[in-house]
Structure 1
């Protein structure tokens, strides 16, 4: 049947953004294959693709489940596949029966790929242009669950971030050459990239105060791997995570982005934080992270209880102890066995249960806090000082506690922080 290509395909700004990625007609890369592979594993899809669409074809930057393909075979004409619908609508396309669905049943790839079901989410350029899509395919018709769709949405944002990160790096490198002032440009880029790895604001958790802070090292211009996140996992369950990638630079930022989005994708499927971290470890190993790019992390999954507080489980992987400040000022450490992630298959991860009553506060932090020290000494701030400080935070809300900790570490180091700090506090208000 005759087919009219949507006009959105030929939008000049969109095409410019696609070409600017530099990804067309390039070989597969581990970073994109990892995102597509994770989409296939989580949704149970047999195949998964990361596609970029110009004015003539849909190019498969990643094609999981298709075996090794020559460059010429990793594409189809733009009118032959569903990706043009993603571009025309800038919305997810969920197809449960490709043979019967009038939107796609006459497309050539339905027959070529033996497509029974298809689900895709648009991927975007830095200014919102639709570059293509992340999609999963099954050979038989099937129902895509809400969790499947949410996973695709999360991973599509991760792919968009990966492309944006590369674009930002390429632009900064050109700028450095032009201005011959690498220091100034690197500082600006580092701040932009670091901010992109942190949530723009803390979500509102009913019955809980949440506050967080990221404090860069003194004079630092490199992107680091400190990150934190807080999000609704599913139903009434919430997930809090804080981690630290060893090293600096764009590679550390890429691993940080992978870690954050992998946790977001897996947390809805588990009540156990150690299971979430196990999945993250496998994702890091699949990414072929070197020993110089390991990750320490603490993850907590919790929910409200009938006593007006919260209960949950927490797991640490080579990370400093989380601390619970009780309403009476006592401080309890929460730590489990578990090595850093991204090095060995079995990280030995475990869970510890915890609860928070009215007036209690859970504090997660990176080792930049406890390893703060004066410029001419190696006397670390340490967990004991942190516990004493936290005990004295009577009457402070979550934001006040985060600020008190950050200010104390900065004062102790006399403003010469040698490592970045990330701090996250969750407090149950007093009755």
Structure 2
């Protein structure tokens, strides 16, 4: 540490700012002194749209400055950095926690920082951006010129967008690692795939939920590439929850980019739009606007909340060219849940009329299955018959009495048995069950 950096530390900057491991992670990110990029600028614009703030930043902080990788709402000709001592970003580095200042002029943590006056900051809300190994690289924040509150849905959206920035950085890091070591490609693909799925599903009141992603090589088939099957389940507003199942065409880094875009866009938009059809429309717009790949995707999305006329849940379902959800009723019958909708492609114009919604209810003993076509297309290596939609429905009907996890285990065992242990495509499954 130089004498100047030591003085900074003694002058009140957190020691974490000068942690050698953190500074190495900042340098390894390759983000300092680079041009603005659409990926990060789009996330910043989305933060502005969600919060109504006139400025949004993604900053990367080394030991002396806070570099603005993205600075939406600022004069493009202005220098894209300020002194690390002047910026609230050093507080994110020091604590590793969000910083929400609804009145920046009176908030003891930041009111005396030069940036408050220089940028006319009345309110500031920021979240840490971290490297793949957990070091705080900088922050993702919005700035308002007036004092104002940030409501919980806005704070949740900002947290999601900051995680999306961190995920993009992790994706780039993994790609560099893959190029540097071809021998690690299979493990890397699995790591990348896992980063695109929630580590665990949240506890959902009144609903027994399970999900699983089964790679093609899980049953012995060759496969060392990232695929586009994904799912997510998250709380939106009040007592409402959102679930999505998606399938991006193809494999590889392009599929991973589209998957990441789909996940963070759906999470952000679902907090603003209660209609699943509207969320799919906004996702289609993001695909066409960002043009990160020509890959198309299919998706099934539903929102649900506790039923008002008895135990269970009520909800709305929308589809974008995805296999229909299946509902197994308490008596063992299975119904298809259909909603007409066009697949999502950056090569096709986004139109809200392309997506429709269907209402549904689950009562005690009922279960709803979302899945990708890897399970219905399971077949033996000698090109025997597909597992198929009818067989899937029959097997689902036989799972009455099983909990969500056991139901998914049974479905995959039967599909694998039908295919003789041969799996040529990845499969994702999610089940929502109301206990009897």
TM-score, normalisation: structure 2: 0.91
> 1:262-303: CA deviations, max 9, x gaps?
222232333221122222222222321433x11211111111
> Equivalent residue for 2:255?
252
User: How far apart in 2 are the matches of 1:303 and 1:101?
Assistant: 38
Q: Does 1:58 align with 2:100?
A: no
> Equivalent residue for 2:144?
138
> 1:15-61: CA deviations, max 9, x gaps?
11111101111112222122222211111111111110001111111
3-state SS of the aligned residue for 1:172?
A: helix
How far did residue 93 of structure 1 move?
A: 1.4
- Of 22, 32, 37 in structure 2, the residue corresponding to residue 29 of structure 1 is 37
User: How far apart in 1 are the matches of 2:115 and 2:384?
Assistant: 63
Q: Does 1:222 align with 2:225?
A: yes
Alignment of 1:32-431 (within 5 A): 32-66=40-74, 68-69=76-77, 73-176=79-182, 181=183, 185-217=184-216, 218-291=221-294, 293-305=295-307, 306-343=309-346, 344-346=349-351, 348-377=354-383, 379-430=385-436
C-alpha RMSD over aligned residues: 1.9
- Mean CA deviation greater in 319-328 or 208-217: 208-217
3-state SS of the aligned residue for 2:27?
A: helix
> 1:326-353: CA deviations, max 9, x gaps?
1112111112121122422215111110
> 1:368-410: CA deviations, max 9, x gaps?
1222233333743221221122222232221222112212222
User: How far apart in 2 are the matches of 1:190 and 1:67?
Assistant: 40
> Does the 8 Å contact 2:17/2:62 carry over to 1?
yes
TM-score, normalisation: structure 1: 0.92
How far did residue 85 of structure 1 move?
A: 1.5
User: How far apart in 2 are the matches of 1:285 and 1:317?
Assistant: 15
How far did residue 14 of structure 1 move?
A: 1.1
User: How far apart in 1 are the matches of 2:88 and 2:212?
Assistant: 42
3-state SS of the aligned residue for 1:352?
A: strand
> Does the 8 Å contact 1:115/1:137 carry over to 2?
yes
How far did residue 65 of structure 1 move?
A: 2.1
> Equivalent residue for 2:3?
none
> Does the 8 Å contact 1:34/1:286 carry over to 2?
no
User: How far apart in 1 are the matches of 2:378 and 2:157?
Assistant: 38
3-state SS of the aligned residue for 1:161?
A: helix
3-state SS of the aligned residue for 2:85?
A: helix
3-state SS of the aligned residue for 2:278?
A: helix
How far did residue 324 of structure 1 move?
A: 0.4
User: How far apart in 2 are the matches of 1:56 and 1:288?
Assistant: 35
How far did residue 81 of structure 1 move?
A: 1.6
User: How far apart in 2 are the matches of 1:268 and 1:352?
Assistant: 20
- Mean CA deviation greater in 148-157 or 405-414: 405-414
Q: Structure 2 unaligned runs (5+)?
A: 1-7
Aligned length: 419
> Does the 8 Å contact 1:147/1:268 carry over to 2?
yes
> Does the 8 Å contact 1:325/1:391 carry over to 2?
yes
How far did residue 69 of structure 1 move?
A: 4.1
- Mean CA deviation greater in 138-147 or 318-327: 138-147
- Mean CA deviation greater in 413-422 or 216-225: 413-422
